[in-house]
Amino acid sequence: MNLILLGAPGAGKGTVSKLLVEKKGMVQISTGDILRGAIKEGSDLGKKAEGFMTRGELVPDQLILDIIEEKLSKEKFPNGFILDGFPRTIPQAEGLKKIMSRLSIKINAAVDLIVDENEIVKRLSSRRTCSNSDCQAIYNVFSKPTKKEGVCDLCGSPVVQRSDETEEAIKVRLNTYKEKTAPLVDYYKNEGLLKSIDANTGSDKVCESIISTIE
């Protein structure tokens, strides 16, 4: 089972991906992890990506696609994989489709996690992250507070609200999503791959809904 996870920031893509990894033995593939892995390995593509990132520039679509193709061609995924956070745009989706065709890999579904906008703002604005770059544990002031207020349970570092998780910043992110990423829903609907899941419920229920819908 090979899936693409779609959904606005705060829809729970990362959490649901981890549950699918635990329950079904799938592999979570995120562009951030792939880029960091390629850089760490010192591959030619990794070195190119590092140059863009060092200069503070966006890594070009084609380079990201090349790195994804390299990963998918080198590794085996007996229980399938989850593409989390990619593609983000129609050109990326079209590039990914060509890669899948070249590698004879089938995408079984593009799962759109649907969450009310007010719920997304609540989720993200209440999130707190450990300030220790080696830890980065994530908490939530409502559903997963730290044992000691403002202090990470794991390493004792301060927990902070990220600058992109204030209510104002979240609304900007949602507008960007609607403009650039939401059109992927229609793209994958036209491809006959779209599955829409109500993600306002808990992550476990969302995960079970995905599994039952796909299988």
Mean predicted confidence (pLDDT) in 181-196: 94
Does residue 120 surpass a pLDDT of 90?
yes
Strand 127-130 vs strand 81-84: parallel, antiparallel, or unpaired? unpaired
What residues form DSSP beta bridges with 129?
A: 138, 160
Q: What is the dihedral of CA 168, 203, 188, 173, to 10 degrees?
A: 10
- Evaluate whether 62 touches 118 at the Cβ level (below 8 Å): no
> In the prediction, which pLDDT does 115 show?
94
| Largest interatomic CA distance in the chain | 52
Q: Which tokens belong to 101?
A: 């065709």
> In the prediction, which pLDDT does 37 show?
81
> In the prediction, which pLDDT does 129 show?
95
Ranking 43-57, 58-72, 111-125, 176-190 by mean pLDDT, the lowest is 43-57
> In the prediction, which pLDDT does 57 show?
76
The pLDDT tens digits of the residues spanning 35-91 come to 888 888 888 888 888 888 778 777 888 988 998 998 899 888 999 999 987 898 899
Which candidate, 116, 113, 120, places its Cα nearest to that of 167?
120
- Give Rg (Cα) of the chain: 18
What pTM does this model have? 0.83
Amino acid, single-letter form, for residue 114? I
Mean predicted confidence (pLDDT) in 184-210: 93
Q: Catalytic residues, which ones? A: 13, 88, 127, 162, 173
Topology given in CATH for the domain delimited by 3-26+77-214: Rossmann fold (3.40.50)
pLDDT band at 31 (very low <50, low <70, confident <90, very high): confident
Axis-axis angle for helices 61-74, 44-54 (nearest 10): 150
- Evaluate whether 87 touches 98 at the Cβ level (below 8 Å): no
Q: What is the dihedral of CA 198, 12, 176, 195, to 10 degrees?
A: -40
Alpha helices in the chain (DSSP H): 13-24, 31-41, 44-54, 61-74, 90-102, 117-125, 167-176, 183-190, 203-214
Mean pLDDT of the chain: 91
> In the prediction, which pLDDT does 45 show?
85
- Evaluate whether 29 touches 21 at the Cβ level (below 8 Å): no
